Structure 1
Amino acid sequence: MNNQELRDKLINNGVKNLQEFGYPYVNKNNILTDDVYKMFFKSILESNLGHKKQIDVVINSLLQEIK
């Protein structure tokens, strides 16, 4: 899986998780821009660091995007 595919998968999984947590309006477009959504997504991403180097690269890139 390439980095773009991993990025898309992480975002889609983040959207799904946030919707399950009670945020029905989160989507792949606003998860990186809405202050509340990105705060929770950042937490999810950080908790997934350290499992695999390729995924960490993509996670770190997403974390830089949402700062």
Structure 2
Amino acid sequence: MKVRDKLILAGVHNLQEFGYPKVTPANILTDMVYAAFFRSMLVSNLGQGEAAETVINELIAEIDAGSGHRV
């Protein structure tokens, strides 16, 4: 499984645990609420020297491009 897929599945799991049962891998990057929460999860994992950092930045950029959010 790709790092991207693992991060998305982990995000879906976390959001479902936080009370968002309708979040899926298909909508976590596009739904305004889910994407905002997922983005904050991704940002909190930056700077830890993980090999996944490039993928995390790509996911953040994808969310930002879809929402019009700019950092």
One fold, TM greater than 0.5?
yes
Query: Within 2, Cα distance between the matches of 1:49 and 1:61?
Result: 12
* C-alpha separation in 1, matches of 2:57 and 2:32: 18
Query: Match for residue 11 of structure 2?
Result: 14
Give, in whole Å, the separation in 1 of the partners of 2:35 and 2:17: 15
Where in structure 2 are the equivalents of 1:27-66 lying within 5 Å? Answer: 27-66=24-63
Structure 1 residue ranges (4+ consecutive) displaced by more than 3 angstroms after TM superposition: none
- Structure 2 Cα separation of the partners of residues 54 and 64 of structure 1: 17
Percent identical pairs in the alignment equals 58
Report 1 or 2 for greater relative contact order, CA contacts < 8 Å, sequence distance ≥ 6.
1
Q: Gaps spanning 5+ residues in structure 2: where? A: 65-71
Between the aligned partners of 1:52 and 1:10, the Cα distance in structure 2 is: 16
Give the structure-1-normalised TM-score: 0.90
| Unpaired stretches in structure 1, ≥5 consecutive residues | none
SS of residue paired to 1:66 = helix
Decide which structure has greater helix share.
1
Q: What is the number of residues matched between the two proteins?
A: 64
State the TM-score, normalizing by the size of structure 2.
0.85
